[in-house]
C-alpha cells in the first residue's frame, strides 16, 4: 500500500478521519467552509482539483452549488477518501475522489483552479509541492490556498487554530521559490485566501 505522506506530516487514520468529519458542524468550520464555497462559487472555474480534500465537504458542496464545475479530489488518507467517496455515492455527486497528495496527482488532465483548504499548513515540503502542482494548471490557471491567517488569530480561544494556520509573508516566499506569485488576497475575519499564479 502506497504511503502518500512525507515524514513529519500529520496523518489521519480511521478514528481521526471520523472526528475530522464530525467537526464540520462546529461554528468555526462552518464559517471556514462557507468562506471557501462562496469564494470558489464566484471563480468561474470549470475544472477544479481539491488537494487534501479530507472528508469531502468542500468538493461536495461545490458540486451542489456549481453544476457546470467538474471536480477531482485527492487525499493521502485512505480513511478520508473512503468517507468522502461514500458521501459522494450517497448524494449522487459527480466528484471523483482518489488517493493522492500534493506530490502525487492521479489525474491526467489540467485544471483551472487547484484548491487547497486547510491543508497547506500540513505540508512538510511546501515549495516542492507547489512546483509539482503547478504542472497541473491550465494556461492562466491558479492555485488557491484557504487557511487561517496566523497574524489575525488572537487570544486563548485561538490557540488550536493558530497551530493550523499560515503566515502570509512566508507563503509569498515559498510561492516565489516555486515559480509562482501571490496575485490576490481575500480575507474574511481570520480567514484568508491567497491566489497563486505562474510568474
Report how far residue 171's alpha carbon sits from residue 78's, in angstroms, rounded to the nearest whole number: 28
pLDDT at 156: 46
For the chain, which ranges sit under pLDDT 50? 156-157
The 10 Å Cβ neighbour count of residue 25 is 8
**What 3-state class would DSSP assign to 115?**
strand
* 76-109 pLDDT tens trace: 999 999 999 999 998 888 899 999 999 999 999 9
Report how far residue 103's alpha carbon sits from residue 156's, in angstroms, rounded to the nearest whole number: 35
* 143-167 pLDDT tens trace: 999 998 887 765 544 555 556 788 8
pLDDT at 7: 86
- Name 96's Cβ contacts closer than 8 Å, sequence gap at least 6: 71, 72, 73, 107
Integer CA distances (angstroms), 145 to 1, 160, 195, in order: 29, 19, 7
The residue with cell 491543508 is 119
**Considering the domain 14-145, what is its CATH architecture?**
3-Layer(aba) Sandwich (3.40)
- Name 8's Cβ contacts closer than 8 Å, sequence gap at least 6: 124
pLDDT at 144: 98
C-beta pairs of 40-43 under 8 Å, 24+ apart in sequence: 40/66, 40/113, 40/115, 40/144, 41/65, 41/66, 43/112, 43/113, 43/144
Best CA proximity match to 122, nearest among 95, 99, 103: 103
This prediction's pTM = 0.93
Rg (CA), the chain: 16
pLDDT at 1: 66
Amino acid at each position: 500500500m502506497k504511503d502518500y505522506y512525507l515524514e513529519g506530516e500529520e496523518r489521519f487514520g480511521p478514528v481521526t478521519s471520523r472526528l475530522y468529519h464530525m467537526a464540520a458542524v462546529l461554528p468555526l468550520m462552518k464559517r471556514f467552509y462557507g468562506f471557501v464555497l462562496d469564494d470558489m462559487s464566484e471563480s468561474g472555474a470549470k475544472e477544479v482539483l481539491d488537494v487534501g480534500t479530507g472528508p469531502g465537504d468542500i468538493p461536495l458542496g461545490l458540486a451542489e452549488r456549481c453544476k457546470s464545475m467538474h471536480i477531482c479530489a485527492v487525499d493521502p488518507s485512505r480513511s478520508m477518501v473512503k468517507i468522502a467517496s461514500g458521501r459522494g455515492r450517497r448524494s449522487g455527486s459527480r466528484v471523483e475522489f482518489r488517493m493522492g497528495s500534493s506530490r502525487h496527482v492521479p489525474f491526467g488532465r489540467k485544471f483551472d483552479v487547484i484548491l487547497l483548504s486547510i491543508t497547506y499548513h500540513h505540508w512538510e515540503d511546501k515549495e516542492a509541492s507547489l512546483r509539482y502542482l503547478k504542472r497541473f494548471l491550465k494556461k492562466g490557471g491558479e492555485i488557491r490556498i484557504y487557511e487561517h491567517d496566523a497574524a489575525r488569530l488572537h487570544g486563548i480561544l485561538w490557540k488550536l487554530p493558530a497551530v493550523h494556520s499560515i503566515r502570509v509573508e512566508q507563503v509569498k516566499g515559498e510561492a516565489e521559490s516555486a515559480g509562482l506569485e501571490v496575485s490576490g488576497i481575500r480575507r474574511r475575519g481570520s480567514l484568508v485566501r491567497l491566489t497563486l499564479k505562474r510568474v
